[in-house]
Structure 1
Amino acid sequence: MAVALADLGLEPGDRVGIISRNCAHWVLADLAIILAGLVSVPVYPTANARTIQQILEHSEASLLIVGKIDDPEEQLRELPKGLRTLAMPYDEAVGELQWESVLREADAGRFQLQARDDADLATLLYTSGSTGAPKGAMHSHGNFSWVGQNLPAALGVQPGDRVLSYLPLSHCTERAYVEASSFYSESTLYFVESIETFMEDLAHARPTLFGSVPRLWKKFQIGVLEKLPQRKLDRLLGLPLIGGLVKRKIKRGLGLDQARWFASGSAPIAVSLLEWWDALDVPIHEGWGMTETFAYGTSLPAGKTPKYGTIGQALPGVELDVSDAQELLIRCPCLMQGYYKADEATAEAMTDDGFFHTGDQASVDDEGWVHITGRVKEQFKTTKGKYIAPVPIESLLARNDHIELACVLGTNLSQPSALIQLAETAPSDRAFLEAELEATRRAVNLELEPHERLGQLIVIKDSWEPENGMLTPTLKLKRQAIEARYGALLDRSKSPVVFEQDL
């Protein structure tokens, strides 16, 4: 395929986009791009037509490799003029060029590895756009190989480890922890066929390393509790011998009985959820990284006991600092070269001594454990003139198993409010649910300062998804979009718990 790309007239340094759900050919395409000396431009498979057009135009892509996407006719309708498309060998993939056809015409005997220096650009990783238009972080071949070599060593990845790839490969975390790491650790990758087959695929792969996002860990918990209510589970776990059998059965049912390392990232996860999984001998390590650091930042190796409520400790080679404004700063060997075509934004993101402004508010204790308290730009001010960080409040709300997602808002309100998305297992009895949510609101408020206390919970009627623009592709809240859609509901009713359809 590297020869085929050259035969298409692509020259070292040219940009090639990849848009597809995770599959073997995503990795094959990326390897071919690397071998041909080209620059990969991953695009989220759920991205809308406008975002796809923006990224491909901004990156000046010469070719787009198209694989498994849900609605190619809609998503690809605004491609830049003259951009060629190459379809992976899947039924749903579309393109003017076909993978197997260009392969047949390519003579592998003519392959010549395109020598690239460590400083040469390897990939443009576009941010997920949770706070605005995506920016392209420039990562070199040196960054790519450094992460691929050092991350497995830091986490204790072993040859033969099995990893299920299902979070977007277009995102830096899957690219680093799964793809790049596999190149150097000799781990085996499995791919999810579809959302419908996820649990079947997980049971088949039986990964030895498994990372996910808070929303999925919550869904797993809900699935367990549907079959085994909490009171019965607590009783069984308290019985000698029986408790161990129950734990093993639950993990086997999820396909996680062979896993020795569990992780969560992308968004904050409630300590209560981490403690729930810990009781089942599933110690989940929170990790942290950014597109700008190629996902490298903090985590813990397999076998080390996590400290819940923190995002772990700095990985080898990482220097962390906290500014006077309590912003976390990072410097590491795999820090981006800058934002593509955005020198001013790059300069604003860096300190004079080479640290990157993460935008996360944090503290680091004497043992190096890092505590994230929120995002600098996510803080808002109420009419009382007090600033509020929403993330800690949302984590407290997540203790309620019937709350799947929460978004705390309150700019120019006297007290903040929380928008609530219910879990599928939430009780259908409206009066019971309302009383339960009010009890949760009161309990949470007891742990908050007076200016932080929630005046109201608003239960939304539609699910927040990447497809409707309320979540990023990595399932983070898009706060600006949520506030734009629901802001008019705030303070419309004085009831402490209210349902959107009643407003």
Structure 2
Amino acid sequence: MAVDSAKQTSLHCLYHWAEHTPDKVYLTQPFADGTTEDITWRQAADQVSRMAAHLGSLDIPERSNIGILGKNSAHWILCDLATWAAGHVSVPLYPTLNGDTAAYVLEHSEAKLLFLGKLDGKADGWNDIKEHIPDDLPIISLPMSPRSDTPQWLDIIADQQPAEPKLPDPDDLATIVYTSGSTGRPKGVMHSFRTMISVADGLQQIFPVNQDERMLSYLPLAHVAERAAVETQSLYYGFHLYFANSLETFQEDLQRARPTLFFSVPRLWMKFYLGINNKLPPKKQKVLFNIPLLNRLVKKKVLKQLGLDHCRAALTGAAPLSSEIVAWYRNLGLELLEVYGMSENFGYSHANRPSAAKPGTVGVTNPGVEHRLAEGEEIEVKSPGQMLGYYKNEEKTREDVTDDGFLKTGDMGEIDSEGFLRITGRVKDLFKTSKGKYVVPVPIENRFNHPKAEVVCVAGANQPQPCLMVLLSEEARDELEAGGSREQLEQELAAELDAVNRECEGHEKLAFVVVVKEPWTMENGMLTPTMKIKRNVIEDYYNRKMDEWFGKKRKVIWEF
């Protein structure tokens, strides 16, 4: 692949657009009071240059690691760029971390300064994190920071003259991305500017993207998926990037952005799907979607309600999404494309192509990517986006990268005759029943598609058979609390259980379904920041109840 010489790195891209389209709006930031701020490419480059000059005036060693903690915002991206323009390395922290993990990341990365962004302690971990930030760690507060007793971004750039930025070499270390920690302590994945920009350069070979696109940034920028799909793409292609203010204003923020490209994760695609089903039941959909002429109007209205009526392509990744749900969106007219990647290759691995997607797969290899199946059907990938290694952990790097340069993904898969990859589970997710038979959870979970089930988890290690835990959607829980029929829902869940079991091998058949009481959230540690289930945490939490549940000998068990 040959990256545009004017856009060798994300920082080169910023100054390229500031020179060629200075007055075009790059970032649109909404605020809690309902106002918005537009930042042009010229203004973005100016703020970055001023903050870089300020960082250069501080007593910080060259090539220092600088933390970024906050929810997505325009200034999150600007401080990322300013860190690079000053010759430093950025270290993003998830805003939903607990205090102990945040302290670990700051200590392990040896962060010399922290940019503190948008946090309020309501839907993030600030109340815990603030007690774990070292007293001697310098802090610069971005707009919407919870601290007013530190130097403020806006004050600094008002007083500081801009400096000539230090444009990096593409092979310089750019960032250390700490994994979301679905198991154990997070690992620091090191990426160069070249590995980061590879995702944008590769995309232009398979999908037409231009400066007129619009995207909404709302998934954690601390994760490579949002950093690759949204931050890097917007900088490379020079398009308009919008931000979400809060969960409560999400629909309003989406309507403002009218995205032409949209990236989300399976948990949210399920939420959107369940929300539509709540307003337009599946039986009614089936009727309306089959009436000529009317079906187009209804489908367009549904997409408009979602805020995706301008969207020409949408991506889903980070975890499996059932082929039935993908097909439902595609039937609406939304080109929903499953993609695949990891923190270790900056999300640049596999993708379904427009008009050539195969539901149930994550597509074929991206340009420049090689894949193969190793022992135990583990997927191994060699990518232009592949990490430099794990920070301060050469042993783990050697363990996860083969001698010929392939990354051991830890995922199991199948590659069909056309090169399409299907993810079948995680190597570490396999468990044995008491009969000594192995169970692979993910394919079973993907087959359970009740319209009121938001997320499910197969468990049952060392039990006679596996079982399935179901978290109902918020709408379904509210409906039950308001007096909805539990008996009717129980019959439907039992029927879905039977349907799933008909497709399972004998040792995989689910003994029962448990409708759980406690929501699975990032705050209680049952979901990662990208909303994947933390299987080990969920299994540990419910393990003490397994014997009791198996003793009930019922198809559907209610925890409440």
TM-score of the two chains, using structure 1 as the length reference: 0.96
* Aligned twin of 1:416: 466
Give 3-state SS (helix, strand or coil) of 1:45's partner. Answer: coil
Structure 1 residues 91 and 57: alpha-carbon distance in aligned structure 2, compared to 1, 3 A threshold? closer
Distance (whole Å) between structure 1 residues aligned to residue 292 and residue 394 of structure 2: 62
Distance (whole Å) between structure 1 residues aligned to residue 514 and residue 304 of structure 2: 37
Distance (whole Å) between structure 1 residues aligned to residue 203 and residue 54 of structure 2: 32
1:237 aligns with one of 275, 279, 289: 289
Give 3-state SS (helix, strand or coil) of 1:78's partner. Answer: coil
Residue pair 1:283, 1:305 contacting (<8 A) in 2 also: no
In the TM superposition, residue 251 of structure 1 has moved relative to its aligned partner by: 1.0
Q: How many residues align?
A: 497
Matched letter for residue 380 of structure 2: L
In the TM superposition, residue 277 of structure 1 has moved relative to its aligned partner by: 1.4
Does residue 447 in structure 1 map to residue 498 in structure 2?
Answer: no
Give 3-state SS (helix, strand or coil) of 2:132's partner. Answer: coil
* Aligned twin of 2:402: 351
Distance (whole Å) between structure 2 residues aligned to residue 112 and residue 458 of structure 1: 60
1:212 aligns with one of 252, 258, 264: 264
Residue pair 1:285, 1:306 contacting (<8 A) in 2 also: yes
* Aligned twin of 1:337: 388
Cα deviation per residue 1:257-304 (whole Å; 9 max; x = unaligned)?
111101111111111111211221123111110000011111134x33
Q: Which moved more, 1:63-72 or 1:99-108?
A: 99-108
Give 3-state SS (helix, strand or coil) of 2:332's partner. Answer: coil
Residue pair 2:117, 2:141 contacting (<8 A) in 1 also: yes
Residue pair 2:378, 2:427 contacting (<8 A) in 1 also: yes
Distance (whole Å) between structure 2 residues aligned to residue 83 and residue 498 of structure 1: 50
Distance (whole Å) between structure 1 residues aligned to residue 270 and residue 143 of structure 2: 35
Matches within 5 A, 1:11-160: 11-71=61-121, 72-90=126-144, 92-93=146-147, 96-108=150-162, 111-160=163-212
Distance (whole Å) between structure 2 residues aligned to residue 352 and residue 407 of structure 1: 35
Kindly report the root-mean-square deviation, in angstroms, between the aligned alpha carbons of the 2 structures: 1.4
Residue pair 1:310, 1:370 contacting (<8 A) in 2 also: yes
* Aligned twin of 1:406: 456
In the TM superposition, residue 152 of structure 1 has moved relative to its aligned partner by: 4.2
Distance (whole Å) between structure 2 residues aligned to residue 101 and residue 330 of structure 1: 46
Residue pair 1:148, 1:183 contacting (<8 A) in 2 also: no
Residue pair 2:431, 2:461 contacting (<8 A) in 1 also: yes
1:199 aligns with one of 232, 251, 259: 251
Matched letter for residue 162 of structure 1: R
Matched letter for residue 102 of structure 1: I
In the TM superposition, residue 95 of structure 1 has moved relative to its aligned partner by: 5.5
In the TM superposition, residue 10 of structure 1 has moved relative to its aligned partner by: 2.8
Structure 1 residues 12 and 95: alpha-carbon distance in aligned structure 2, compared to 1, 3 A threshold? farther
Structure 1 residues 420 and 354: alpha-carbon distance in aligned structure 2, compared to 1, 3 A threshold? same
Distance (whole Å) between structure 1 residues aligned to residue 91 and residue 443 of structure 2: 34
Structure 1 residues 235 and 73: alpha-carbon distance in aligned structure 2, compared to 1, 3 A threshold? closer
In the TM superposition, residue 310 of structure 1 has moved relative to its aligned partner by: 0.3
Does residue 300 in structure 1 map to residue 352 in structure 2?
Answer: yes
1:432 aligns with one of 480, 488, 503: 488
Cα deviation per residue 1:298-324 (whole Å; 9 max; x = unaligned)?
1134x3331111011111111111113
* Aligned twin of 2:376: 325
Cα deviation per residue 1:55-105 (whole Å; 9 max; x = unaligned)?
010000001101112323432211234211111022635552211222233
In the TM superposition, residue 115 of structure 1 has moved relative to its aligned partner by: 4.6
Distance (whole Å) between structure 1 residues aligned to residue 198 and residue 497 of structure 2: 46
Distance (whole Å) between structure 1 residues aligned to residue 352 and residue 501 of structure 2: 32
Give 3-state SS (helix, strand or coil) of 2:112's partner. Answer: strand
* Aligned twin of 1:368: 419
Distance (whole Å) between structure 2 residues aligned to residue 196 and residue 84 of structure 1: 33
Distance (whole Å) between structure 2 residues aligned to residue 11 and residue 348 of structure 1: 31
In the TM superposition, residue 401 of structure 1 has moved relative to its aligned partner by: 0.6
Residue pair 2:516, 2:558 contacting (<8 A) in 1 also: yes
Matched letter for residue 451 of structure 1: H
1:476 aligns with one of 532, 538, 554: 532
Does residue 226 in structure 1 map to residue 278 in structure 2?
Answer: yes
Give 3-state SS (helix, strand or coil) of 1:77's partner. Answer: coil
In the TM superposition, residue 144 of structure 1 has moved relative to its aligned partner by: 2.1
Residue pair 2:90, 2:174 contacting (<8 A) in 1 also: yes
* Aligned twin of 1:499: 558
Cα deviation per residue 1:182-208 (whole Å; 9 max; x = unaligned)?
111111100001111000110111100
* Aligned twin of 1:254: 306
Does residue 169 in structure 1 map to residue 221 in structure 2?
Answer: yes
Task: Mark the runs of 5 or more structure 2 residues left unpaired by the alignment.
Answer: 1-50
Distance (whole Å) between structure 2 residues aligned to residue 373 and residue 155 of structure 1: 26
Distance (whole Å) between structure 2 residues aligned to residue 316 and residue 340 of structure 1: 27
Distance (whole Å) between structure 1 residues aligned to residue 193 and residue 211 of structure 2: 23
Distance (whole Å) between structure 1 residues aligned to residue 491 and residue 414 of structure 2: 36
Structure 1 residues 342 and 408: alpha-carbon distance in aligned structure 2, compared to 1, 3 A threshold? same
In the TM superposition, residue 218 of structure 1 has moved relative to its aligned partner by: 1.3
Cα deviation per residue 1:159-201 (whole Å; 9 max; x = unaligned)?
1100011111110011011101111111110000111100011
Matched letter for residue 466 of structure 1: M
Q: Which moved more, 1:280-289 or 1:69-78?
A: 69-78
TM-score of the two chains, using structure 2 as the length reference: 0.86
Give 3-state SS (helix, strand or coil) of 1:468's partner. Answer: coil
Cα deviation per residue 1:124-149 (whole Å; 9 max; x = unaligned)?
01100002110000111221233333
Give 3-state SS (helix, strand or coil) of 1:359's partner. Answer: strand
Residue pair 2:377, 2:412 contacting (<8 A) in 1 also: yes
Structure 1 residues 458 and 95: alpha-carbon distance in aligned structure 2, compared to 1, 3 A threshold? farther
Cα deviation per residue 1:27-58 (whole Å; 9 max; x = unaligned)?
11011011111100000011111111000100
Give 3-state SS (helix, strand or coil) of 2:107's partner. Answer: helix
Matched letter for residue 88 of structure 1: L
Does residue 276 in structure 1 map to residue 328 in structure 2?
Answer: yes
Structure 1 residues 49 and 95: alpha-carbon distance in aligned structure 2, compared to 1, 3 A threshold? farther
Residue pair 2:202, 2:366 contacting (<8 A) in 1 also: no
Matched letter for residue 153 of structure 2: W
Residue pair 2:198, 2:348 contacting (<8 A) in 1 also: no
* Aligned twin of 2:15: none
Q: Which moved more, 1:146-155 or 1:186-195?
A: 146-155
